[in-house]
Structure 1
Amino acid sequence: MSMRILEIVVIILGLAGIVAFSFSNKFEKQIHEQVKESREYSVEKMWVLPEILEEVSGINFFANDKLAAVQDEDGIIFIYDLAKGEIEREIDFGGNGDYEAISIKEKDAFILRSDGVIFEVKDFLSSPQVTTYEPEIEHSVNFEGLCLSKKADKFLLLTKDEDVKNGVKNVYSFNLKSKQFEKDIPYKLETEKGIFKDYKGSFRPSEIEINPKTGEFYVLDAKHPRLLILNSTFQVLRLITFDEDEFEQPEGIGFDTEGRLYISNEAGDSDANILQVELKPVK
Protein backbone atom coordinates (compact mmCIF):
# COMPACT_ATOMS: atom_id res chain seq x y z
CA MET A 1 0.00 0.00 0.00
CA SER A 2 2.79 2.45 0.89
CA MET A 3 4.54 1.75 -2.44
CA ARG A 4 1.36 2.60 -4.33
CA ILE A 5 1.04 5.90 -2.45
CA LEU A 6 4.68 6.68 -3.17
CA GLU A 7 4.13 6.04 -6.89
CA ILE A 8 1.14 8.39 -6.89
CA VAL A 9 3.15 11.09 -5.10
CA VAL A 10 5.96 10.77 -7.64
CA ILE A 11 3.49 11.07 -10.53
CA ILE A 12 1.83 14.13 -8.97
CA LEU A 13 5.18 15.81 -8.37
CA GLY A 14 6.25 15.03 -11.93
CA LEU A 15 3.07 16.50 -13.36
CA ALA A 16 3.48 19.55 -11.13
CA GLY A 17 7.02 20.01 -12.39
CA ILE A 18 5.87 19.80 -16.03
CA VAL A 19 3.10 22.33 -15.38
CA ALA A 20 5.51 24.66 -13.55
CA PHE A 21 8.09 24.37 -16.35
CA SER A 22 5.45 25.02 -18.99
CA PHE A 23 4.12 28.02 -17.06
CA SER A 24 7.65 29.37 -16.56
CA ASN A 25 8.43 29.09 -20.27
CA LYS A 26 5.12 30.70 -21.17
CA PHE A 27 5.73 33.49 -18.65
CA GLU A 28 9.26 34.12 -19.94
CA LYS A 29 7.97 34.16 -23.52
CA GLN A 30 5.26 36.67 -22.57
CA ILE A 31 7.83 38.89 -20.82
CA HIS A 32 10.14 38.67 -23.87
CA GLU A 33 7.27 39.61 -26.19
CA GLN A 34 6.28 42.51 -23.90
CA VAL A 35 9.87 43.78 -23.92
CA LYS A 36 10.00 43.56 -27.71
CA GLU A 37 6.65 45.32 -27.95
CA SER A 38 7.87 48.17 -25.71
CA ARG A 39 10.89 48.84 -27.92
CA GLU A 40 10.93 51.81 -30.23
CA TYR A 41 12.06 49.69 -33.14
CA SER A 42 11.87 46.23 -34.68
CA VAL A 43 14.52 44.23 -36.55
CA GLU A 44 12.97 43.08 -39.81
CA LYS A 45 15.88 41.18 -41.42
CA MET A 46 19.48 40.23 -40.73
CA TRP A 47 22.44 39.44 -42.98
CA VAL A 48 25.45 37.73 -41.36
CA LEU A 49 28.65 39.10 -42.86
CA PRO A 50 31.77 37.08 -43.74
CA GLU A 51 34.86 37.19 -41.57
CA ILE A 52 36.65 39.72 -43.80
CA LEU A 53 33.96 42.24 -42.78
CA GLU A 54 34.04 41.49 -39.05
CA GLU A 55 35.17 45.09 -38.50
CA VAL A 56 32.69 46.66 -40.91
CA SER A 57 32.74 50.39 -40.21
CA GLY A 58 30.60 51.95 -42.92
CA ILE A 59 27.91 51.11 -45.50
CA ASN A 60 26.21 53.07 -48.27
CA PHE A 61 23.66 52.02 -50.90
CA PHE A 62 24.32 52.80 -54.55
CA ALA A 63 21.70 50.53 -56.19
CA ASN A 64 18.70 48.44 -55.26
CA ASP A 65 19.86 45.59 -52.96
CA LYS A 66 23.51 46.58 -53.40
CA LEU A 67 25.71 48.51 -51.04
CA ALA A 68 29.33 49.51 -50.69
CA ALA A 69 31.06 48.75 -47.40
CA VAL A 70 34.41 49.48 -45.79
CA GLN A 71 36.11 48.01 -42.74
CA ASP A 72 38.57 49.44 -40.23
CA GLU A 73 41.87 48.07 -41.46
CA ASP A 74 42.07 47.56 -45.23
CA GLY A 75 41.74 50.08 -48.06
CA ILE A 76 39.09 48.06 -49.88
CA ILE A 77 35.55 48.85 -50.99
CA PHE A 78 33.42 45.72 -50.64
CA ILE A 79 30.39 45.45 -52.93
CA TYR A 80 27.75 43.49 -51.01
CA ASP A 81 24.64 42.03 -52.64
CA LEU A 82 21.77 41.79 -50.15
CA ALA A 83 19.68 39.59 -52.45
CA LYS A 84 22.47 37.01 -52.69
CA GLY A 85 23.83 37.63 -49.20
CA GLU A 86 27.43 37.74 -50.37
CA ILE A 87 30.35 39.94 -51.37
CA GLU A 88 30.17 40.46 -55.11
CA ARG A 89 33.40 42.34 -55.63
CA GLU A 90 36.37 44.02 -53.91
CA ILE A 91 37.87 47.33 -55.07
CA ASP A 92 41.27 48.48 -53.73
CA PHE A 93 41.70 52.18 -53.04
CA GLY A 94 44.46 52.45 -50.40
CA GLY A 95 46.80 50.73 -47.98
CA ASN A 96 46.21 49.79 -44.35
CA GLY A 97 44.44 52.45 -42.33
CA ASP A 98 41.62 53.24 -39.92
CA TYR A 99 38.74 53.70 -42.38
CA GLU A 100 35.50 54.76 -40.75
CA ALA A 101 32.83 55.62 -43.33
CA ILE A 102 31.86 55.55 -46.98
CA SER A 103 29.50 57.70 -49.00
CA ILE A 104 28.52 57.50 -52.66
CA LYS A 105 27.79 60.39 -54.99
CA GLU A 106 26.66 59.21 -58.41
CA LYS A 107 29.59 57.16 -59.80
CA ASP A 108 32.14 58.24 -57.20
CA ALA A 109 32.89 56.82 -53.77
CA PHE A 110 34.30 58.83 -50.86
CA ILE A 111 35.90 57.13 -47.87
CA LEU A 112 36.75 58.80 -44.56
CA ARG A 113 39.82 57.87 -42.55
CA SER A 114 39.81 58.56 -38.82
CA ASP A 115 42.35 61.38 -39.16
CA GLY A 116 39.99 63.26 -41.47
CA VAL A 117 41.61 62.36 -44.78
CA ILE A 118 39.02 61.78 -47.51
CA PHE A 119 39.72 59.31 -50.32
CA GLU A 120 37.83 60.09 -53.51
CA VAL A 121 37.51 57.02 -55.77
CA LYS A 122 36.19 58.32 -59.07
CA ASP A 123 34.15 55.92 -61.17
CA PHE A 124 34.70 53.29 -58.49
CA LEU A 125 32.76 50.52 -60.25
CA SER A 126 34.42 50.85 -63.67
CA SER A 127 37.87 52.44 -63.69
CA PRO A 128 38.69 53.66 -60.15
CA GLN A 129 41.05 56.63 -59.80
CA VAL A 130 42.01 57.73 -56.28
CA THR A 131 42.59 61.27 -55.01
CA THR A 132 43.09 62.20 -51.35
CA TYR A 133 42.16 65.39 -49.49
CA GLU A 134 43.64 66.31 -46.12
CA PRO A 135 41.89 68.50 -43.56
CA GLU A 136 43.61 71.69 -42.41
CA ILE A 137 42.85 71.32 -38.71
CA GLU A 138 45.41 72.51 -36.20
CA HIS A 139 44.48 70.03 -33.47
CA SER A 140 44.08 66.24 -33.49
CA VAL A 141 40.55 65.07 -34.29
CA ASN A 142 39.11 61.55 -34.30
CA PHE A 143 36.55 61.36 -37.11
CA GLU A 144 33.91 58.64 -37.28
CA GLY A 145 31.03 59.73 -39.52
CA LEU A 146 30.58 60.94 -43.09
CA CYS A 147 27.37 61.78 -44.94
CA LEU A 148 26.40 63.52 -48.16
CA SER A 149 24.23 66.63 -48.00
CA LYS A 150 22.85 66.69 -51.55
CA LYS A 151 21.11 70.00 -50.91
CA ALA A 152 24.35 71.76 -49.92
CA ASP A 153 26.56 69.67 -52.21
CA LYS A 154 28.85 68.97 -49.27
CA PHE A 155 30.03 66.13 -47.13
CA LEU A 156 29.51 66.45 -43.39
CA LEU A 157 32.08 64.88 -41.07
CA LEU A 158 31.34 64.05 -37.44
CA THR A 159 33.87 63.51 -34.66
CA LYS A 160 33.70 60.80 -32.01
CA ASP A 161 35.64 62.45 -29.20
CA GLU A 162 35.34 65.99 -27.93
CA ASP A 163 37.39 68.34 -30.03
CA VAL A 164 36.27 71.50 -28.24
CA LYS A 165 35.08 71.22 -24.62
CA ASN A 166 32.12 70.39 -22.39
CA GLY A 167 30.92 67.49 -24.53
CA VAL A 168 30.53 69.56 -27.71
CA LYS A 169 31.38 67.73 -30.91
CA ASN A 170 31.92 69.69 -34.10
CA VAL A 171 30.51 68.79 -37.48
CA TYR A 172 32.95 69.72 -40.24
CA SER A 173 32.18 70.11 -43.95
CA PHE A 174 33.89 69.31 -47.23
CA ASN A 175 32.79 71.30 -50.27
CA LEU A 176 32.32 69.08 -53.31
CA LYS A 177 32.64 71.94 -55.79
CA SER A 178 35.92 73.33 -54.50
CA LYS A 179 37.08 69.95 -53.12
CA GLN A 180 38.22 71.72 -49.98
CA PHE A 181 37.47 71.52 -46.28
CA GLU A 182 35.54 74.56 -45.10
CA LYS A 183 36.63 76.57 -42.08
CA ASP A 184 33.13 77.33 -40.83
CA ILE A 185 31.51 74.79 -38.50
CA PRO A 186 27.94 74.22 -39.80
CA TYR A 187 26.68 72.28 -36.76
CA LYS A 188 27.65 71.46 -33.20
CA LEU A 189 26.40 68.49 -31.21
CA GLU A 190 26.08 69.07 -27.45
CA THR A 191 26.11 65.68 -25.76
CA GLU A 192 25.89 66.57 -22.08
CA LYS A 193 22.64 68.53 -22.06
CA GLY A 194 18.94 67.93 -22.50
CA ILE A 195 17.94 64.41 -23.49
CA PHE A 196 21.44 63.00 -22.89
CA LYS A 197 21.19 63.49 -19.11
CA ASP A 198 18.65 60.64 -18.87
CA TYR A 199 20.94 58.06 -20.48
CA LYS A 200 24.03 56.21 -19.27
CA GLY A 201 27.48 56.99 -20.56
CA SER A 202 28.72 59.73 -22.82
CA PHE A 203 27.41 59.81 -26.38
CA ARG A 204 30.23 58.92 -28.78
CA PRO A 205 29.10 59.12 -32.42
CA SER A 206 30.13 56.29 -34.72
CA GLU A 207 28.28 57.32 -37.90
CA ILE A 208 26.02 59.99 -39.37
CA GLU A 209 23.55 59.79 -42.24
CA ILE A 210 20.63 61.79 -43.62
CA ASN A 211 17.22 60.17 -43.98
CA PRO A 212 16.35 60.75 -47.67
CA LYS A 213 12.62 60.81 -46.94
CA THR A 214 12.58 63.28 -44.03
CA GLY A 215 15.89 65.16 -44.23
CA GLU A 216 16.57 64.24 -40.59
CA PHE A 217 20.05 63.41 -39.34
CA TYR A 218 20.62 59.92 -37.91
CA VAL A 219 23.65 59.52 -35.62
CA LEU A 220 24.80 56.21 -34.12
CA ASP A 221 26.58 55.55 -30.83
CA ALA A 222 28.52 52.27 -30.97
CA LYS A 223 29.76 52.07 -27.37
CA HIS A 224 26.29 52.38 -25.84
CA PRO A 225 24.14 51.23 -28.80
CA ARG A 226 21.81 54.14 -29.50
CA LEU A 227 20.39 56.09 -32.40
CA LEU A 228 20.07 59.86 -32.17
CA ILE A 229 17.66 61.61 -34.54
CA LEU A 230 17.96 65.34 -35.22
CA ASN A 231 16.01 67.65 -37.49
CA SER A 232 17.46 69.44 -40.50
CA THR A 233 18.80 72.26 -38.26
CA PHE A 234 20.49 69.75 -35.93
CA GLN A 235 17.99 70.03 -33.09
CA VAL A 236 17.53 66.81 -31.11
CA LEU A 237 14.24 65.02 -31.74
CA ARG A 238 14.68 61.52 -30.36
CA LEU A 239 17.18 59.15 -28.76
CA ILE A 240 16.53 55.43 -29.19
CA THR A 241 18.31 52.77 -27.13
CA PHE A 242 19.08 49.47 -28.85
CA ASP A 243 19.30 45.99 -27.33
CA GLU A 244 23.03 45.29 -26.92
CA ASP A 245 22.49 41.60 -27.76
CA GLU A 246 21.23 42.61 -31.21
CA PHE A 247 23.40 45.68 -31.75
CA GLU A 248 26.84 44.74 -30.43
CA GLN A 249 28.70 47.61 -32.08
CA PRO A 250 26.64 49.65 -34.56
CA GLU A 251 29.05 51.45 -36.88
CA GLY A 252 27.26 52.01 -40.19
CA ILE A 253 23.95 53.45 -41.42
CA GLY A 254 22.40 53.18 -44.85
CA PHE A 255 19.08 53.84 -46.55
CA ASP A 256 18.01 51.85 -49.59
CA THR A 257 16.16 53.24 -52.62
CA GLU A 258 12.83 52.76 -50.80
CA GLY A 259 14.01 54.69 -47.74
CA ARG A 260 14.35 51.62 -45.49
CA LEU A 261 16.92 51.86 -42.69
CA TYR A 262 19.90 49.50 -42.38
CA ILE A 263 22.50 49.37 -39.60
CA SER A 264 25.76 47.42 -39.70
CA ASN A 265 27.41 45.96 -36.59
CA GLU A 266 31.00 44.95 -36.05
CA ALA A 267 31.62 41.44 -34.71
CA GLY A 268 31.68 40.81 -30.98
CA ASP A 269 30.30 37.71 -29.30
CA SER A 270 28.28 37.30 -32.50
CA ASP A 271 29.26 37.66 -36.15
CA ALA A 272 29.24 41.03 -37.87
CA ASN A 273 25.92 41.74 -39.52
CA ILE A 274 23.63 44.14 -41.30
CA LEU A 275 20.17 44.67 -39.81
CA GLN A 276 17.13 46.11 -41.54
CA VAL A 277 15.46 48.20 -38.85
CA GLU A 278 12.01 49.74 -38.69
CA LEU A 279 11.46 52.58 -36.22
CA LYS A 280 8.11 52.80 -34.51
CA PRO A 281 6.25 56.13 -34.56
CA VAL A 282 6.51 58.31 -31.49
CA LYS A 283 3.44 57.76 -29.30
Structure 2
Amino acid sequence: MNKWALGIIAVVLLIAAVVYGIYQKNDYDFNDATKSYEVVNTWELPEELNEISGLHWMGDGRIACIQDEDGIIFIYDLNSAKIIQKHKFALAGDYEAITYLNENYWVAKSSGELFRIESIKPKEKIEAGIRLELKYNNNIEGIAAAPDGKIWISFKDRNLKKEGDYRGLYAFDPKTNKLDPEPVAKVNYKDQKFDLLKTGNPRKLLRPSDIGFHPLTGELYILDAEFQKLIITNTSGKIKKLHLLDPEEFSQPEGITFSESGRIFISNENLGGPANIKEVKFH
Protein backbone atom coordinates (compact mmCIF):
# COMPACT_ATOMS: atom_id res chain seq x y z
CA MET A 1 0.00 0.00 0.00
CA ASN A 2 1.54 3.37 -1.01
CA LYS A 3 1.94 6.43 1.20
CA TRP A 4 -0.97 8.27 -0.46
CA ALA A 5 -3.38 5.46 0.36
CA LEU A 6 -2.13 5.28 3.92
CA GLY A 7 -2.50 9.02 4.26
CA ILE A 8 -6.08 8.96 2.99
CA ILE A 9 -6.98 6.17 5.40
CA ALA A 10 -5.40 8.09 8.28
CA VAL A 11 -7.37 11.24 7.44
CA VAL A 12 -10.65 9.30 7.17
CA LEU A 13 -10.04 7.63 10.54
CA LEU A 14 -9.21 10.98 12.13
CA ILE A 15 -12.39 12.58 10.81
CA ALA A 16 -14.43 9.59 12.00
CA ALA A 17 -12.86 9.85 15.45
CA VAL A 18 -13.62 13.57 15.68
CA VAL A 19 -17.26 13.08 14.61
CA TYR A 20 -17.66 10.20 17.05
CA GLY A 21 -16.22 12.33 19.82
CA ILE A 22 -18.57 15.21 19.09
CA TYR A 23 -21.60 12.92 19.18
CA GLN A 24 -20.58 10.70 22.07
CA LYS A 25 -18.58 12.63 24.64
CA ASN A 26 -20.02 13.99 27.88
CA ASP A 27 -23.15 11.81 27.77
CA TYR A 28 -24.93 11.41 31.07
CA ASP A 29 -24.97 8.08 32.87
CA PHE A 30 -28.21 7.08 34.51
CA ASN A 31 -27.90 6.10 38.15
CA ASP A 32 -30.27 5.71 41.07
CA ALA A 33 -29.35 9.14 42.42
CA THR A 34 -31.09 10.75 39.43
CA LYS A 35 -34.19 8.54 39.52
CA SER A 36 -37.26 10.72 39.91
CA TYR A 37 -40.07 8.23 39.36
CA GLU A 38 -41.49 4.93 40.56
CA VAL A 39 -42.79 2.05 38.45
CA VAL A 40 -45.92 0.86 40.25
CA ASN A 41 -47.21 -1.77 37.76
CA THR A 42 -45.91 -3.65 34.72
CA TRP A 43 -47.85 -5.66 32.13
CA GLU A 44 -45.90 -7.91 29.76
CA LEU A 45 -47.51 -7.88 26.33
CA PRO A 46 -48.15 -10.72 23.86
CA GLU A 47 -45.99 -11.12 20.76
CA GLU A 48 -48.55 -9.32 18.59
CA LEU A 49 -47.56 -6.12 20.40
CA ASN A 50 -43.79 -6.61 20.29
CA GLU A 51 -43.56 -3.44 18.18
CA ILE A 52 -46.01 -1.42 20.27
CA SER A 53 -45.72 2.23 19.33
CA GLY A 54 -48.72 4.17 20.63
CA LEU A 55 -51.33 4.16 23.40
CA HIS A 56 -54.67 5.72 24.24
CA TRP A 57 -56.55 5.23 27.51
CA MET A 58 -60.16 4.17 26.83
CA GLY A 59 -61.38 3.81 30.40
CA ASP A 60 -62.30 0.79 32.55
CA GLY A 61 -58.75 -0.51 32.41
CA ARG A 62 -58.72 -0.71 28.61
CA ILE A 63 -55.99 0.78 26.42
CA ALA A 64 -56.09 1.16 22.65
CA CYS A 65 -52.68 0.16 21.25
CA ILE A 66 -51.05 0.27 17.86
CA GLN A 67 -47.81 -1.23 16.64
CA ASP A 68 -45.55 -0.14 13.83
CA GLU A 69 -46.06 -3.01 11.42
CA ASP A 70 -49.83 -3.54 11.03
CA GLY A 71 -52.74 -1.16 10.56
CA ILE A 72 -54.61 -2.65 13.52
CA ILE A 73 -55.92 -1.12 16.73
CA PHE A 74 -55.56 -3.61 19.58
CA ILE A 75 -57.69 -3.19 22.69
CA TYR A 76 -55.64 -4.39 25.65
CA ASP A 77 -57.36 -4.98 28.99
CA LEU A 78 -55.14 -4.30 32.01
CA ASN A 79 -57.43 -6.26 34.34
CA SER A 80 -57.23 -9.53 32.39
CA ALA A 81 -53.79 -8.75 30.88
CA LYS A 82 -55.09 -9.78 27.44
CA ILE A 83 -55.94 -8.38 24.02
CA ILE A 84 -59.72 -8.42 24.00
CA GLN A 85 -60.46 -6.87 20.60
CA LYS A 86 -58.85 -5.96 17.28
CA HIS A 87 -59.89 -3.55 14.56
CA LYS A 88 -58.04 -3.42 11.24
CA PHE A 89 -58.20 0.05 9.72
CA ALA A 90 -55.37 0.03 7.15
CA LEU A 91 -52.83 -2.14 5.37
CA ALA A 92 -49.37 -2.90 6.74
CA GLY A 93 -47.22 0.15 7.48
CA ASP A 94 -45.25 2.05 10.08
CA TYR A 95 -47.93 3.35 12.49
CA GLU A 96 -46.53 5.36 15.39
CA ALA A 97 -49.18 7.14 17.46
CA ILE A 98 -52.84 7.17 18.40
CA THR A 99 -55.16 9.70 20.03
CA TYR A 100 -58.88 10.43 20.40
CA LEU A 101 -60.69 13.66 19.51
CA ASN A 102 -64.33 14.55 18.86
CA GLU A 103 -65.50 10.92 19.07
CA ASN A 104 -62.94 9.79 16.50
CA TYR A 105 -59.72 7.86 16.89
CA TRP A 106 -56.73 9.22 15.01
CA VAL A 107 -53.66 7.20 14.06
CA ALA A 108 -50.43 8.60 12.60
CA LYS A 109 -48.28 6.88 10.01
CA SER A 110 -44.62 7.87 10.20
CA SER A 111 -44.44 8.78 6.52
CA GLY A 112 -46.95 11.62 6.92
CA GLU A 113 -50.51 10.29 6.97
CA LEU A 114 -53.28 10.61 9.54
CA PHE A 115 -56.15 8.13 9.72
CA ARG A 116 -59.54 9.11 11.15
CA ILE A 117 -61.39 6.09 12.60
CA GLU A 118 -65.00 6.75 13.55
CA SER A 119 -65.49 3.61 15.60
CA ILE A 120 -63.56 0.61 16.79
CA LYS A 121 -65.36 -2.64 16.11
CA PRO A 122 -64.06 -6.21 15.97
CA LYS A 123 -63.98 -6.16 12.19
CA GLU A 124 -62.04 -4.75 9.25
CA LYS A 125 -62.75 -1.37 7.68
CA ILE A 126 -59.94 0.05 5.56
CA GLU A 127 -59.78 3.83 5.92
CA ALA A 128 -58.32 6.44 3.55
CA GLY A 129 -55.43 8.36 5.05
CA ILE A 130 -55.05 12.13 5.07
CA ARG A 131 -51.70 13.02 3.48
CA LEU A 132 -49.91 15.90 5.20
CA GLU A 133 -47.88 18.40 3.23
CA LEU A 134 -44.34 17.57 4.34
CA LYS A 135 -41.31 18.83 2.46
CA TYR A 136 -38.85 16.52 4.19
CA ASN A 137 -38.85 13.03 5.66
CA ASN A 138 -39.86 14.42 9.04
CA ASN A 139 -40.97 11.10 10.56
CA ILE A 140 -44.15 11.48 12.66
CA GLU A 141 -43.74 9.80 16.04
CA GLY A 142 -46.32 11.40 18.32
CA ILE A 143 -49.80 12.88 18.19
CA ALA A 144 -52.06 14.19 20.96
CA ALA A 145 -55.51 15.72 21.16
CA ALA A 146 -54.86 19.21 22.50
CA PRO A 147 -57.04 21.49 24.66
CA ASP A 148 -57.37 23.85 21.67
CA GLY A 149 -59.35 21.22 19.73
CA LYS A 150 -56.50 20.42 17.38
CA ILE A 151 -54.13 17.49 17.09
CA TRP A 152 -50.58 18.30 18.03
CA ILE A 153 -47.85 16.44 16.15
CA SER A 154 -44.23 15.76 17.05
CA PHE A 155 -41.64 14.84 14.47
CA LYS A 156 -38.69 12.66 15.37
CA ASP A 157 -36.07 13.78 12.86
CA ARG A 158 -36.48 17.44 11.96
CA ASN A 159 -38.69 20.50 12.05
CA LEU A 160 -41.08 21.30 9.21
CA LYS A 161 -39.33 24.27 7.66
CA LYS A 162 -35.78 24.46 8.94
CA GLU A 163 -33.59 23.39 11.76
CA GLY A 164 -32.76 25.78 14.56
CA ASP A 165 -32.06 25.86 18.25
CA TYR A 166 -35.41 24.26 19.07
CA ARG A 167 -37.63 21.22 18.47
CA GLY A 168 -40.97 22.33 17.08
CA LEU A 169 -44.42 20.87 17.70
CA TYR A 170 -47.16 21.45 15.16
CA ALA A 171 -50.96 21.66 15.08
CA PHE A 172 -53.26 19.81 12.68
CA ASP A 173 -56.82 21.17 12.34
CA PRO A 174 -59.32 18.28 11.91
CA LYS A 175 -61.91 20.72 10.58
CA THR A 176 -59.82 21.69 7.56
CA ASN A 177 -57.46 18.68 7.45
CA LYS A 178 -54.56 21.15 7.30
CA LEU A 179 -51.26 21.21 9.16
CA ASP A 180 -50.01 24.63 10.26
CA PRO A 181 -46.41 24.93 9.00
CA GLU A 182 -45.51 27.22 11.92
CA PRO A 183 -44.73 25.61 15.28
CA VAL A 184 -47.45 25.83 17.88
CA ALA A 185 -44.80 25.26 20.57
CA LYS A 186 -41.00 25.20 20.70
CA VAL A 187 -38.71 23.30 23.05
CA ASN A 188 -35.50 25.35 23.22
CA TYR A 189 -32.32 23.29 22.99
CA LYS A 190 -30.54 25.96 25.06
CA ASP A 191 -32.86 25.51 28.03
CA GLN A 192 -30.82 25.01 31.19
CA LYS A 193 -32.82 21.88 32.03
CA PHE A 194 -30.88 20.16 29.23
CA ASP A 195 -27.60 20.75 31.08
CA LEU A 196 -28.32 17.51 32.93
CA LEU A 197 -27.61 15.59 29.72
CA LYS A 198 -24.04 16.95 29.36
CA THR A 199 -24.25 17.23 25.59
CA GLY A 200 -25.05 19.85 23.00
CA ASN A 201 -26.03 17.32 20.34
CA PRO A 202 -29.68 18.07 19.34
CA ARG A 203 -30.16 14.41 18.45
CA LYS A 204 -29.54 13.48 22.08
CA LEU A 205 -31.36 16.44 23.57
CA LEU A 206 -34.74 15.53 22.12
CA ARG A 207 -36.10 13.09 19.53
CA PRO A 208 -39.78 12.68 20.52
CA SER A 209 -41.30 9.21 20.40
CA ASP A 210 -44.74 10.29 21.67
CA ILE A 211 -46.55 13.21 23.27
CA GLY A 212 -49.60 13.65 25.49
CA PHE A 213 -51.42 16.25 27.58
CA HIS A 214 -51.90 15.52 31.27
CA PRO A 215 -55.67 15.55 31.91
CA LEU A 216 -55.40 17.37 35.26
CA THR A 217 -52.54 19.85 34.77
CA GLY A 218 -52.77 20.47 31.02
CA GLU A 219 -48.99 20.08 30.79
CA LEU A 220 -47.41 18.53 27.72
CA TYR A 221 -45.47 15.31 28.25
CA ILE A 222 -42.82 14.53 25.62
CA LEU A 223 -41.34 11.03 25.58
CA ASP A 224 -37.93 10.22 24.08
CA ALA A 225 -37.18 6.58 23.23
CA GLU A 226 -33.68 6.85 21.83
CA PHE A 227 -32.11 8.59 24.83
CA GLN A 228 -34.65 7.56 27.42
CA LYS A 229 -36.31 10.49 29.14
CA LEU A 230 -39.57 12.32 29.73
CA ILE A 231 -39.83 16.09 29.39
CA ILE A 232 -42.74 18.04 30.87
CA THR A 233 -43.46 21.46 29.36
CA ASN A 234 -46.12 24.12 29.35
CA THR A 235 -48.15 24.65 26.19
CA SER A 236 -45.54 26.97 24.69
CA GLY A 237 -42.81 24.34 25.09
CA LYS A 238 -41.04 25.81 28.12
CA ILE A 239 -39.50 22.92 30.06
CA LYS A 240 -40.80 22.53 33.60
CA LYS A 241 -39.20 19.17 34.43
CA LEU A 242 -36.86 16.65 32.81
CA HIS A 243 -36.98 13.06 34.06
CA LEU A 244 -34.27 10.61 33.06
CA LEU A 245 -35.56 7.07 32.54
CA ASP A 246 -33.51 4.02 33.47
CA PRO A 247 -32.68 2.11 30.25
CA GLU A 248 -32.92 -1.11 32.26
CA GLU A 249 -36.61 -0.36 32.90
CA PHE A 250 -37.40 1.61 29.74
CA SER A 251 -35.50 -0.08 26.92
CA GLN A 252 -37.47 1.73 24.20
CA PRO A 253 -40.35 3.89 25.50
CA GLU A 254 -42.58 4.52 22.49
CA GLY A 255 -46.03 5.44 23.81
CA ILE A 256 -47.63 7.42 26.63
CA THR A 257 -51.21 7.86 27.80
CA PHE A 258 -53.15 9.00 30.88
CA SER A 259 -56.26 7.89 32.71
CA GLU A 260 -58.90 10.49 33.58
CA SER A 261 -57.53 10.60 37.12
CA GLY A 262 -53.97 11.23 35.97
CA ARG A 263 -52.42 7.75 36.08
CA ILE A 264 -49.53 7.59 33.62
CA PHE A 265 -48.82 4.61 31.35
CA ILE A 266 -45.74 4.18 29.14
CA SER A 267 -45.20 1.38 26.63
CA ASN A 268 -41.87 -0.21 25.63
CA GLU A 269 -41.06 -2.20 22.51
CA ASN A 270 -39.45 -5.62 22.94
CA LEU A 271 -35.84 -4.49 22.97
CA GLY A 272 -33.90 -6.82 25.26
CA GLY A 273 -37.06 -8.34 26.74
CA PRO A 274 -40.82 -8.63 26.26
CA ALA A 275 -42.76 -5.56 25.19
CA ASN A 276 -44.63 -4.04 28.11
CA ILE A 277 -46.81 -1.30 29.53
CA LYS A 278 -45.66 0.33 32.76
CA GLU A 279 -47.66 2.49 35.12
CA VAL A 280 -45.36 5.22 36.42
CA LYS A 281 -45.51 7.85 39.15
CA PHE A 282 -43.24 10.84 38.69
CA HIS A 283 -41.96 12.78 41.71
TM over 0.5: same fold? yes
Distance in 1 of aligned mates of 2:134 and 2:110: 13
1:24-71 CA-to-partner distances (Å, cap 9, x unmatched) read xxxxxxxxxxx7686211000000000110110000012220110000
Q: Which residue is equivalent to 1:132? A: 129
Residue in 1 that maps onto 2:280: 277
Are 2:186 and 2:238, in contact at CA under 8 Å, matched by a contact in 1?
no
1:213 corresponds, among 212, 216, 232, to: 216
Deviation by residue 1:152-193 (Cα, 9 ceiling, x = unmatched): 110000011123224532212111222322333211223354
The change in CA–CA distance for 1:153 and 1:68 in structure 2 (over 3 A counts) is: same
Q: Which residue of 2 aligns with 1:249?
A: 252
Residue in 1 aligned with 2:140? 143
Q: Give the whole-Å Cα distance in 2 for the aligned partners of 1:185 and 1:231.
A: 14
Question: 1:207: how far off?
Answer: 0.6
1:38 and 1:159, CA in 2 relative to 1: closer, same or farther beyond 3 A? closer
Shift in CA distance, 183/161, structure 1 to aligned 2, threshold 3 Å: closer
Distance change >3 Å, CA 221–CA 38, structure 1 → 2? closer
Which runs of structure 2 are paired with 1:1-283 in the superposition (5 Å)? 39-105=35-101, 107-125=103-121, 130-149=127-146, 151-163=147-159, 164-200=162-198, 201-280=204-283
1:93 and 1:126 map into 2 onto residues whose CA distance is 11
2:86·2:122 contact (CA, 8 Å) conserved in 1? no
Letter in 2 for 1:170: G
Superposed displacement of residue 80, structure 1: 0.5
Over the aligned positions, Cα root-mean-square deviation in angstroms equals: 1.9
SS in 1 for 2:129: strand
Aligned-pair CA distance for 1:277: 0.3
Paired letter, 1:74: D
**Aligned counterparts of 1:233 and 1:38: Cα–Cα separation in 2:** 26
What is aligned with 1:10? none
Q: Is the 8 A contact 2:189 2:205 kept in 1?
A: yes
| SS of equivalent to 1:263 | strand
Gaps of 5+ in 2: 1-30, 199-203
Higher Cα Rg, which structure: 1
Structure 2 distance, partners of 1:199, 1:269, is: 24
Normalised to the residue count of structure 2, the TM-score between the two structures is 0.81
Q: What secondary structure, in the 3-state scheme, does the structure 2 residue paired with 1:130 have?
A: coil
Q: Distance in 2 between matches of 1:130 and 1:73?
A: 16
Q: TM-score with structure 1 length normalisation? A: 0.81
| Superposition misfits of 4+ residues, deviation over 6 angstroms | none
User: Residues 93-132 of structure 1, C-alpha deviation per residue, up to 9 Å, x if partnerless?
Assistant: 1111111100022542100011221011112237857242
Residue 231 of structure 1, CA deviation: 1.4
Percent identity between the aligned chains? 33
Letter matched to residue 197 of structure 1: D
- 1:101 is aligned with what amino acid? A
**Range with bigger deviation, 193-202 or 95-104:** 193-202
The count of residues paired between Structure 1 and Structure 2 equals 245
**Tell me, what secondary structure is at the counterpart of 1:183?**
coil
Q: Tell me the distance in 2 between the aligned counterparts of 1:38 and 1:93.
A: 42
CA distance in 2, matches of 1:234, 1:103: 20
Q: Distance in 2 between matches of 1:257 and 1:211?
A: 9
CA deviation after TM superposition for structure 1 residue 143, in Å: 1.3
Structure 2: how far apart are the matches of 1:125 and 1:189? 38
Q: Is the 8 A contact 2:95 2:110 kept in 1?
A: yes
Structure 2: how far apart are the matches of 1:48 and 1:236? 32
